[in-house]
Amino acid sequence: MMTRRALIASLAAVPLVGARAAAAPPPSTGGRRHFPNPTLLTQDNERVAFYDDLMKGKIVLVNFFYVECTGICPAATANLINVQEMLGARVGRDIFMYSITLKPLEDRPPQLKMYQEMHSIKPGWTLLTGSANDCELLRRRLGFADIDPVVDRDTANHIGVVLIGNERIDSWMACPVQSDPKQIVKSVSWMDR
């Protein structure tokens, strides 16, 4: 890869203004710039810092759900179980799956634990809850809020998207959570650079 310095040197015709241009850029991973770092709770009642423990340096798949959802969640979870199966042993090693609850007041660690067992969700896929404010902050920051407030309040028809990314290289995409699991696995492979 061409270094920034070399790139600048090659740009003889473009006048550079100010000292900024020559200054070394910050590390280009989005990292903390993208993600808040609230403390969440897992289905095993472990405390985890969202950015530091869950995102930093990892390939991740993130969606939102809630335990009692009878809308998109059952199909979404079943689909993601196929994805987890296809990704195999890498899940929990360098690829991590996270489902954050949309109803943090109802879905506490015991409810998440029950959901995990009911669906035979394997290690490497973590179910998460937290304070209502923190879960809401993440929902908004990660793009799981509908722009139309009326639609957004209808939690039963919540956004059914899975966010896929590699924090180390700051590469992110999203696809419908009901996509063909083969396609989701392929999308993960694009992030695996």
Partner 1 sequence: MSGFSPRFARGDDGGGARTPFKTRPFVQELPLPLVKEPFSTGSACVDGLPTTGIKAGPVEHQFFDRADCAPVRAYTIDVREALHSFHPDMPPTTIFGYDGVFPGPTFRAQYGQPILVRFFNNLPKDHVGFGIPSITTHLHNGHTASESDGYPGNYHDSGTYWDNHYPNVLNGFSVDPETTDSGECMNTLWYHDHRLDFTAQNVYAGLAGFYLLFDDKDCGDETNTDGFQLPSGEFDVPMVFGDKVFDADGQAVFDFFNLDGILGDKNTVNGAIQPFMKVQRRKYRFRFLDAGPSRFYALAMSDGSPMVQISNDGNLLPAPIARSVVTVSVAERHDVIVDFSKYQVGEKVYLMNRAEQTDGRGPTGTLLTPGDPLVEFQVIGLQNPDVSQIPSTLRIPPPLSLDQVVKTRSWEFNRGNGQWTVNGKIFREDEIRATVKCNTREIWKFKNGGGGWSHPIHTHYEEFRTLTRNGQTPPAFERGRKDVSVLGPGEETEVLFNFRDFHGKYVTHCHNVVHEDHAMMIRFDIVP
Q: Interface with partner 1 by CB under 8 A: which residues?
A: 1-2, 4, 7-8, 10-11, 14-18, 20-21, 25-26, 28-30, 33-34, 71-72, 140-148, 151, 157-161, 163, 165, 169-180, 183, 187, 190, 193
Are the C-beta atoms of residues 151 and 157 closer than 8 Å to each other?
yes
4 or 47, CB closer to partner 1?
4
29 or 37, CB closer to partner 1?
29
33 or 120, CB closer to partner 1?
33
- Nearest approach, Cβ of residue 172 and partner 1 (Å): 4
Are the C-beta atoms of residues 62 and 138 closer than 8 Å to each other?
no
Beta bridge partner(s), residue 98: 62, 126
Instruction: Check residue 148 and report its DSSP letter.
Output: S
- Nearest approach, Cβ of residue 62 and partner 1 (Å): 10
Closest CA relative to residue 73, chosen from 40, 103, 44: 103
**Phi and psi, residue 169, nearest 5°:** -105, 10
Instruction: Scan for tokens 């590469």, then name that residue.
Output: 171
10 or 45, CB closer to partner 1?
10
